[in-house]
Chain A
């Protein structure tokens, strides 16, 4: 049942896309073009953009104004923060994160890329591959995008030169091949401004045998994550006070990693207590089974101690890792640098606690992919930290199960989100007793 469901939904499920690339490579224009050519743009939105284009002195209707929603963005003609846009074709629904190209807004690019299945990395055909192109391809692969579309844009400005297209494609391909987590790359020559190879095949690229962008995205088959066994990070205990359900006690959370069924044996981590699933509820109704992404309430057969932050594990194919000594890859997102000995809050699953940095292991140079010894990471740096957590976590390696391997760090000084972190290893070296 579980497998059949995944087969059916793999081609028809929603595709989440993020755009990436340097400033002025045409990311917002491309999104505007996709929205416009799939007839997603409403008449009042288009007329507002036509008016605004005239006011800002743009020659043609500036489709980027459809997504650059902040006043400062329109005035400066740049994207500062992620904009989310939605469109659907008869074949598929799409959620698009239009992300900023400026290095100073890399943290917002990470936010956009983190939830995306496919990253569209744009390159201006005239300027070729830039540092930001490499940085964004690296981030997309780090956060687990399943594919990169290399959109070689502004091909009209290089006279649709096939040699130029192949040169850029080869350069990106060799960079991606060298990444710690290589991702398949599909190059497409486009003009976002004129619409070539975005929705419709271009007559200007007879030498290009591949699909236009939208066709590729519609047909892209999401690779379901392997079944590692079900986990539920408990958000909350549901306990009606009195009334007809006074004896009801259930654990609310999201299923990840596999399928959970009535009658399954369950281990509560980190305590190790066991029970079985008496009943499952989704959207208030009882269901026989629940799969990845389903928001459920789990009713256990026995009254074991389960609280927010605990994890219910059933049918583990790969056991989750339990411990408080954690190595993570991070993107650093705040001005305050991170150094050995510095203290933060961590948030993992539904658990929060103290985190002390044991060591800054390296900084990753996003253009050369070299690892440098360093005493600190600063804003927008990518690197690796070893953390001592104040409590044990029940985690997965990020590449095994992203939902169990993602973490954020929070600055206790002002509560800002300081880092996106991806779990590499978990050990219980500093634990005394449990786990």
Chain B
């Protein structure tokens, strides 16, 4: 029994070592081959791990590129507070791209009604910001295990002048050798966490004490149940007729736009508890908590084609 436990611990630890080396290598390579990269930072756990790895990749030098938060305006307060604290403590430069500004400028039209979400609008704000700042590469925390369309994505993924992803014309990536050559106006998305699973992310967080927003751990919150998900009340979510809010002990498995990110009932109060919970989970994080991905079988592919993260 102890033997089995030791073996398992050793293999999990060796696997995480290899993933860590791989991610740091990708970050260094893309940051050096490209002229003006940026790291997309949502305040969620994947982008927290990505930023932590990026800081390690260039230590003891300062992170040589900025991080960008695409702000939907529908945030959890805890996440904004966390974002500002982290960029200060880790000495990184923050750029904020605002969906509200895109709406005010008429670049996008906001949906209305109780189920309105700004999630889809983010793609336009993101592409506008990439063009405005002249970024040629954007690091994202996307993982291939998140979704079937993401499972097809390269580590270094080409975007044309319109910011579009063409899944049928991806550059082959033999030996994970990264071809970072682009023409003006085109850009690249880089995914150093491609080969990580949700469990690997949590193991890394536990190993390196990566700080996270408090909403990843269990807390009491007023919620409403909709389509099998628990949505926070009091923010952008509007109650529909017949819906009854109630208080529950919950935590978040993902952090996105507050209008479409659901909580799960959980008593996991610290990283150790969460690790145990994730290891035993029978439902994917997106299936459990993201209304935006459950619309159709190809929801993610369609949004990615339009330039989504």
A residues in contact (CB < 8 Å) with B: 8-9, 12-14, 42-45, 48, 52, 66-72, 74, 80-86, 88, 90-93, 95, 107-108, 110-111, 114-115, 143, 235-236, 238-241, 243-245, 248, 252, 254, 281-284, 293-295, 297, 308, 331, 333, 345, 347, 350, 402, 406, 408, 410, 415-417, 420
Contact = CB atoms under 8 A, between A and B. Distances in A.
B56 A284 contact: yes
Interface of B: 4, 7-8, 10-12, 14-15, 18, 20-22, 24-25, 28-29, 31-32, 55-62, 144-145, 147-152, 167-168, 170-177, 179, 181-183, 194-195, 197, 281-284, 287-288, 297-298, 301
B287 A42 contact: yes
Contact of A111 (B15, B25, B144, B174): B174
Given A9-B14, A83-B144, 20 more contacts: A8-B10, A12-B14, A42-B282, A69-B148, A80-B167, A84-B194, A85-B151, A92-B11, A111-B173, A236-B28, A241-B61, A248-B60, A252-B28, A252-B57, A284-B59, A293-B21, A408-B174, A410-B179, A417-B173, A420-B175
A110 B171 CA distance: 12
Contact of A295 (B15, B28, B61, B283): B28
Contacts of B297: 48, 52, 71, 74
Contacts of B24: 283, 295
B21 A44 contact: no
Contacts of B176: 114-115
B21 A294 contact: yes
Give the interface SS of chain A, mostly helix, strand, loop or mixed. Answer: mixed
A115 B22 CA distance: 13
20 contacts: A12-B11, A12-B14, A42-B283, A70-B148, A70-B168, A72-B168, A81-B167, A82-B152, A86-B144, A86-B195, A108-B172, A114-B175, A236-B32, A240-B61, A243-B62, A244-B60, A284-B56, A293-B22, A294-B21, A350-B32
A254 B32 contact: no
A252 B176 CA distance: 18
Contact of A13 (B4, B11, B144): B11
A70 B172 contact: no
A404 to B, nearest CB: 11
Nearest to A14: B15
Contacts of A52: 297
